[in-house]
Amino acid sequence: MRVISGKYKGRSLVAPKDMSVRPTSDRVKESVFSIINHKVQKSNFFDLCSGTGSIGIEALSRGADKVTFLDHNRKCHRLIEMNLAKCGLEKKSPQMKLIHSSITQGIEILKKSLELYDLIYFDPPYDAGLYTQGLSFISDASLLEPTGLIIVEHDKSSDLPNNVGMLIRDRQKQYGNTHVTFFRHEN
């Protein structure tokens, strides 16, 4: 696992020793970032269900102004902190926010801060059944900029709805068993 492009290009990142955390493959990461590349520069990026933090770190490497990492797993927080350190990034930097919380509580915290995100990468454990609920929380909290995108990484067997609240499916890409579905505001 590595940073693919940008300021931290080529840096190796710490991967979990077991399969309790499933990092996004470099192939999927590279493809997604080539699709959203024009939106990453100077963006406010939200890495929801961050795992190792590799997606948020890739966004920072490619010029995101700010990245919020959210995961409820303490092991993931240690991985994120180690990976930030490998890139010479301080976890207390104003450029990033690291939240240890469930999706529900974390989104509620962010809703109260009135922050809006240009890009939200949502990659929960494939079998956790959090997709529709998570998208609904994001929509209800109005966390997405009007021209923003939500990128959902999921298994090909996951059945994502076409609409959730004010969000509508924009497109979908397939990479083997991994699918990536893009959502945007309906209007």
* Cα 174 from Cα 4, distance rounded (Å): 20
Q: What string of DSSP letters covers 1-69?
A: -B--SSTTTT-B-PPPSSTTS-PPPHHHHHHHHHHHHHHHTT-EEEEET-TTSHHHHHHHHTT-SEEEE
Instruction: Name the residue type at position 11.
Output: R
* Cα 169 from Cα 186, distance rounded (Å): 9
* Cα 154 from Cα 62, distance rounded (Å): 23
pLDDT at 91: 76
* Cα 41 from Cα 110, distance rounded (Å): 21
- Topology at the third CATH level for domain 26-153+160-185: Rossmann fold (3.40.50)
pTM of the complete model: 0.95
> For each of the chain's 187 residues, which pLDDT tens digit applies?
899 999 999 999 998 887 667 788 889 999 999 999 999 999 999 999 999 999 999 999 999 999 999 999 999 999 999 999 999 998 788 899 999 999 999 999 999 999 999 999 999 988 878 899 999 999 999 999 999 999 999 998 888 999 999 999 999 999 999 999 999 998 7
